[in-house]
Amino acid sequence: MRRVVITGMGVFASTGKDVESFFCNLCHAKSGIGRIRQFDPSSLSVQIAAEVAGYNPEEYFPSKRLDLLDRFSQFSLIAASQTMKSSGLEVREEECGRFGAVIGSGMGGAQGLDHGYHELYAKQATRLHPFTIPKIMHSAPVSQVCMEYGAQGPSFSTATACSSAGHAIGEAFHLVKFGLADMMLAGGADSPITYGMMRSWESVRVLATGNGGDPSRACRPFSADREGMVIGEGAALLLLEEIEHARRRGADIWAEIVGFGMTSDAGHITQPTVAGPARAIRIALDEAGVNPEEVDYINAHGTGTRLNDPIETQVVKEVFRDHARRLCISSTKSMHGHVMGATGAVELAATVLAVRRGVIPPTANYTEPDPECDLDVVPNEARSQPVNIAISNSFAFGGLNAVLLVRKAN
């Protein structure tokens, strides 16, 4: 069976606009969460989010091209540019059919959709911009990335809420592993911080408000005083490549993907189960041929909600048994927020860097132990230690689970 390695990455998120600043800020527990700047949030009960601060699209794209790009597609293209540059890949014409892309998004073109509805209902517009549909469709980022880099192989988008990027990367992994492609750009993008989206999320009652305190400390996964998750935005893409193809061109191998598990809880639309995520982890372990005792680190789904964190703790105990207490588990959502459909890619990037550099990013803002979340969550400070095998969990609304397992390059 063909082996699949990661030979490039790009990240554009609230905690960093490139891979280096992203991981540095995570390891220093520096949060990207603050008061919303994209619109006036004064009328909202939740006025905080993890935005990409100081982003000016005209610094990255000519104004004419911006007519075709919703914010989540812009983020995808920026992350793709970083990924291709870091990989050193130059795709020959005859290889284009073996080069594809899979990019996930949970919310699609939320910015364009919100703007369009405002034009229709508030301003009584009789027609919208002719590129509205090509901008807001979930597949817009993957189409834009394929056109940018001449990727003519298997390419599509995934939309499985918070697991979208995890599924995208897992499917891209299998396309390379089973010989349908040699190179795949894979990841996710979302930019859901709009007035309409924030109003909708308020109604779900799972968001931290950050009221009366420092917004950067609002997301506290696994801490007894946690109050909810924080919406984020951003994109992350990885270049997945068949190992011999990578070796022939002398590529720098960041890590190897060795397992992918996906399951459905088939239970409740918003409440996760233990059985579904546990099966996904076991499937990833089985595909990788890895024993539970060999895993060193888990980048948790870790949303910071009252319900998610104890259930994920139970999941880890169910799968890893006695080894669960020896595992390092952290939630980087405490800093970059919940990046919706992109979160699995952003978190896999953090996981790969933990493996590559032997530094585990912490769960920031941890203040008080919770008896129901009693594993080692690497509180507040990064930990330097070898990481040979790591897992990244993504568990979505609707019970759609995606688990990725990576191994140190050798």
What pairs with residue 391 in β-bridges?
A: 298, 405
Q: How far apart are CA 342 and CA 165, in angstroms?
A: 5
Q: Which of 27, 146, 162, 373 is catalytic?
A: 162
DSSP conformation letters of 244-293? HHHHHTTPPP-EEEEEEEEEE--S-SS---SHHHHHHHHHHHHHHT--GG
Q: Are 231 and 340 in contact (CB under 8 A)?
A: yes
Q: How far apart are CA 196 and CA 189, in angstroms?
A: 19
Q: Which of 115, 167, 245, 338 is catalytic?
A: 338
Q: How far apart are CA 235 and CA 78, in angstroms?
A: 8
In the chain, % helix, strand, coil (3-state, to 5) comes to 40, 20, 40
- What stretch of H or E contains 104? strand 99-104
User: Which among 299, 307, 161, 347 has a CA at the least distance from the CA of 227?
Assistant: 307
Q: Which of 115, 138, 245, 301 is catalytic?
A: 301
Show the beta-strand stretches assigned E in 281-399.
Answer: 297-299, 328-330, 359-360, 383-384, 389-396
Examine the residue annotation and report whether 338 is marked as an active-site residue of this protein.
yes
Examine the residue annotation and report whether 162 is marked as an active-site residue of this protein.
yes
> What is the maximum alpha-carbon separation in the chain?
63
User: Which among 38, 44, 43, 45 has a CA at the least distance from the CA of 14?
Assistant: 38
- What stretch of H or E contains 7? strand 4-13
Q: Are 224 and 254 in contact (CB under 8 A)?
A: no
Q: How far apart are CA 154 and CA 182, in angstroms?
A: 10
Active site residues: 162, 301, 338
